[in-house]
Structure 1
Amino acid sequence: MRPLSILASALAVTVALTSCSQDQGTDGAAEADTQGVSDDAVVIGTHQPLTGAASPGFRHVSSGARAVFDYINDNGGIHGRRIEYQVQDDAFDPAQTVEATRSLIEDHEIFAMLGGLGTPTHEAVIDELNEEGVPDLFVSSGALSWDQPEVYPYSYGFQVDYTREAKIQGEFLAEHFAGDKVGLLYQNDDVGPSSHAGIEQYLTDEIVAWESYDPGVPELSGQIEELKASGAEVAVCYCIPAFLGMAVLEAAAIGYTPQWVAPSFGGDVEIVTALIEEYAQGTPAEDMPSEAFLDGLIITAFLPMAAQRDDPWTRFFLEIHEEYNSGTPFTDTTVYGMAQATLLAQVLMEVGPDLTRQNLLETLNSHEWTGPGLVPFAATEDDHSGYSGVMVVRHRAGEEPEVLQEPMVTDSDGGEILPFDLERPSPEETELFGATGG
């Protein structure tokens, strides 16, 4: 038997080591909760396709967000903190997204991820972001994956999900194009089945073709020929901008002229028009005015569009764009990035000076958020879905979009499509921009 003095000494050492370990664990958790936050800055990261096939359609998202952050920083920041915006290029390649995200977490020590773009790309990193406790805010994709708070408590959607958007499109087409045959062209990831789950609630026998494409393969001639052969009079393109432009041009080349319908994530007409002009070089279509290809395009949208210059948020964003993004086009995707940045800034303002990841999520979950969006925005402990509906508009070249149906809301299941009441503040009525002189 050992003397009591030896046992007492051993016990003291054990207690000291246990206490030290607990203190280190507590300190580590506290440090993680404020990673990326200093007295005068907060570091926000994102992965974006600045190069690659998706780049032409989406590179303006991050430039739009950066312009808003630059504007805020030049007007005093948020509670004295500048927003340091770190953008990593992933070329719309999931393997590169993994590398980009690890760099953001480990090298740049970001406080939060904002608007990571793409369904296959963000699905590659959502587990790591949640395991690391990084707020994964306002994912730039309409997949339902981001609205799983029980699985991904740190991840939140932003844009209307593919199913809700397709439901509203389906009901609109069933009413206004009754009896017409419909063909679907869609990206071969979550976009396809999620969109089908929506549109097929309102269109069944009318759908005569289902054609998919791979975003890594810039070729649509076979799919467009199949759409034409099916007799589809309405072509719904659940496509990113590059493939919408390709589809419209391929159709024109073979004399196929359906009524084209595009979703919010693909129907940026300024971007698509520029792509058509580029794709038409060296073909018989190069002598046709590129804007003519999209005249009459039907689009759904949950944010004000760049061409809607009577909207107070569009006007405000255009002013910021002209000051901070001079020489670049003002597009719907620019507005998209600006709206994301605005929403994040509103949340940061509401959190107050004591900025932690936990405070951020608690604040996000406990408030109703209104601003640029045309429809209600959902962010609660049990609902991470983001925007809840869309309006339907028709593009007219050189004119403001014609609103065919006012914004409506629905769910991603079998619920009704309904009107709603929303008090949408102007920029001047928003605390953030009032405080910064907007």
Structure 2
Amino acid sequence: MSQRSRSVPAVLAVAALAAAGLSACSTPEASPGVTDDTITVGTHTPLTGPAAAGYSSISAATKAYFDYVNDNGGINGRSIEYVVKDDGYNPATTQTVVRELVQEDEVFAVLNGLGTPTHSSVVDYLNENEVPDLFVASGSPKWDQPGTYPWTFAYNASYIVEAKALATYAQETWPGKTYCVLGQDDDFGTDFTTGLITVLGADGLASTQTYSVSVQDVVAQIGAMQAAGCEVNFLATVNGFTALALGTAAKMKYQAQWVSSSSGGDYPTLVGYLGEDVAPLLLQGFVSSNYLPFSPDDEWVALFREINDEYNGGAPFSGNTVFGMSVGFLFAQALAKAGDDPTRESVLDALEVGALTGNGIVPLSFSKDSHAAFEGVGITAVDQGVQDYVGDVFTTDGGDGDVVPYTGEPVALEGDGIPTA
């Protein structure tokens, strides 16, 4: 056989290998957590510890929504599996369980990790490992830093946005009153107070008090507010400390108007802390903010109640239920837009091109330049045991921009609440 004839098979073999290599390069490598029929995501959340009573129901609601989606064919043929890890609202534990999610459970994304101090302890790790860090359950503005944290996206309206809207409402509703604030001793309280000062002015707060979640006592703080003559008290508190503040004030026979961030303003949750006998009295007129469907007759709320009854064992229905299922809907929408063969990169692309609507009362703000979800909130008030929207919906930014009324419509429910591409 000639040298030329012997070389032909070798040339063909090299060509075949090259073609195979080109084919492999043109097919996206499957991301962790993705199989032909499942996609696995995970979260860290307090199922135990000081914040558990206020927030442990969120992840159960998200799972219930995913179970509903899965029973109806999933998203692009894939069922969503949800791994929930308890971090006890302790940043050190958060670091441990998030590493388990990424390295052992090999999740596609971390979804709705809860808490400012807790999630702050893992945001660098998730971005260094290019893990989608989706819809953080915290209003800290740090999640909206695409240049620093390209894989992280917020969910809550920022504490600054909430505070600016609530301060504007307070000035319109209770002009000339003495305003004060009680806030958590971390970024939650600091950012919320910054938003208040932006609207009320540097001397707009007669008293600024802080608390630590490790100390179940706010007598000194409430006493200081009473002594300062505070008439309208803003709260940057988790639900348990909202209830503690109101209960302490009642024992001290101190009456004031209470105005809370959404993080600590859920009426059914507060009733659980305060008791059904006294809660309607202590919470009459209580004001908070929200950005999700909330009204008792809302079509989203009706759907989520049905899902809660069937897939969540009929657990108590609260704002946490709506929050958890709304997060699930937004992830399902992102997954639907990410294509038949989703990758971590394609989910981020779907978010940054503005393809998602969510189900809020104001539009989502996601883009390449913004990883903030909601830049606006509505105002809720409690009347005779019913918490509902009142007055204007406000939009603003996380800086010194104006607070302006929003005149658009909330996102309408389409079909059965299961997103399609």
Taking structure 2 as the reference length, the TM-score comes to 0.90
Are the structure 2 counterparts of residues 100 and 123 from structure 1 closer, same or farther at C-alpha, using a change threshold of 3 Å? same
- 1:55: which partner in 2? 52
Q: Distance in 2 between matches of 1:136 and 1:86?
A: 14
Q: 1:324-381, CA deviations, whole angstroms, 9 ceiling, x for partnerless residues?
A: 1124210101111111110000111111211111111111111242242011211111
Q: Distance in 2 between matches of 1:220 and 1:424?
A: 38
Q: Does 1:405 align with 2:394?
A: no
Are the structure 2 counterparts of residues 189 and 106 from structure 1 closer, same or farther at C-alpha, using a change threshold of 3 Å? same
* Contact in 1 for aligned 2:33/2:107 (Cα 8 Å): yes
Amino acid at match of 2:184: Q
Q: Distance in 1 between matches of 2:377 and 2:383?
A: 19
Amino acid at match of 1:129: L
Q: Distance in 2 between matches of 1:434 and 1:361?
A: 17
- 1:266: which partner in 2? 264
Amino acid at match of 2:99: R
Are the structure 2 counterparts of residues 317 and 249 from structure 1 closer, same or farther at C-alpha, using a change threshold of 3 Å? same
- 2:63: which partner in 1? 66
Are the structure 2 counterparts of residues 421 and 163 from structure 1 closer, same or farther at C-alpha, using a change threshold of 3 Å? same
Q: How much does 1:96 deviate?
A: 0.3
Q: Distance in 2 between matches of 1:128 and 1:201?
A: 32
Amino acid at match of 1:259: Q
Are the structure 2 counterparts of residues 409 and 126 from structure 1 closer, same or farther at C-alpha, using a change threshold of 3 Å? same
Root-mean-square deviation (CA), in Å?
Answer: 2.1
Q: How much does 1:177 deviate?
A: 1.1
Q: How much does 1:421 deviate?
A: 4.9
Of 286, 296, 302 in structure 2, the residue corresponding to residue 297 of structure 1 is 286
Q: How much does 1:435 deviate?
A: 5.9
- 1:349: which partner in 2? 336
Q: Distance in 2 between matches of 1:271 and 1:236?
A: 18
* Contact in 1 for aligned 2:287/2:381 (Cα 8 Å): yes
Q: Distance in 2 between matches of 1:399 and 1:358?
A: 43
Are the structure 2 counterparts of residues 40 and 368 from structure 1 closer, same or farther at C-alpha, using a change threshold of 3 Å? closer
* Contact in 1 for aligned 2:183/2:193 (Cα 8 Å): no
Q: Does 289-298 or 91-100 show the bigger shift?
A: 289-298
Q: Secondary structure at the match of 2:40?
A: strand
Q: 1:110-148, CA deviations, whole angstroms, 9 ceiling, x for partnerless residues?
A: 000110000000000001100111000000000011011
* Contact in 2 for aligned 1:139/1:158 (Cα 8 Å): yes
Q: Does 1:433 align with 2:407?
A: no
Of 336, 344, 362 in structure 1, the residue corresponding to residue 323 of structure 2 is 336
Q: Secondary structure at the match of 2:369?
A: coil
Of 354, 367, 371 in structure 2, the residue corresponding to residue 380 of structure 1 is 367
Q: Distance in 1 between matches of 2:408 and 2:88?
A: 37
Q: Secondary structure at the match of 2:54?
A: helix
Q: Which runs of 5+ in 2 are unaligned?
A: 1-20
* Contact in 2 for aligned 1:47/1:87 (Cα 8 Å): yes
Q: Does 1:369 align with 2:367?
A: no
- 2:12: which partner in 1? none
Q: Distance in 1 between matches of 2:312 and 2:379?
A: 29
Q: Does 1:257 align with 2:270?
A: no
- 1:184: which partner in 2? 181
- 2:246: which partner in 1? 248
Amino acid at match of 2:64: A
Q: Distance in 1 between matches of 2:109 and 2:409?
A: 29
Q: How much does 1:258 deviate?
A: 0.3
- 1:6: which partner in 2? none
- 2:9: which partner in 1? none
Q: How much does 1:251 deviate?
A: 0.3
* Contact in 2 for aligned 1:427/1:433 (Cα 8 Å): no
Q: Secondary structure at the match of 2:83?
A: strand
- 1:314: which partner in 2? 301
* Contact in 1 for aligned 2:361/2:411 (Cα 8 Å): no
Q: Distance in 2 between matches of 1:225 and 1:60?
A: 32
Amino acid at match of 1:362: D
Are the structure 2 counterparts of residues 300 and 434 from structure 1 closer, same or farther at C-alpha, using a change threshold of 3 Å? closer
Q: How much does 1:425 deviate?
A: 3.9
Q: Secondary structure at the match of 2:200?
A: coil
Q: Does 1:140 align with 2:129?
A: no
Amino acid at match of 1:52: G
- 2:220: which partner in 1? 222
Q: Secondary structure at the match of 1:342?
A: helix
The runs of 4+ residues in structure 1 deviating greater than 4 Å are none
Are the structure 2 counterparts of residues 434 and 355 from structure 1 closer, same or farther at C-alpha, using a change threshold of 3 Å? closer
Q: Secondary structure at the match of 2:342?
A: coil
Taking structure 1 as the reference length, the TM-score comes to 0.87
- 1:202: which partner in 2? 199
Q: Distance in 2 between matches of 1:291 and 1:174?
A: 25
- 1:8: which partner in 2? none
Q: How much does 1:101 deviate?
A: 0.1
Q: Does 1:157 align with 2:144?
A: no
Q: Distance in 2 between matches of 1:103 and 1:121?
A: 15
Identity over aligned pairs, percent: 38
Amino acid at match of 1:380: S
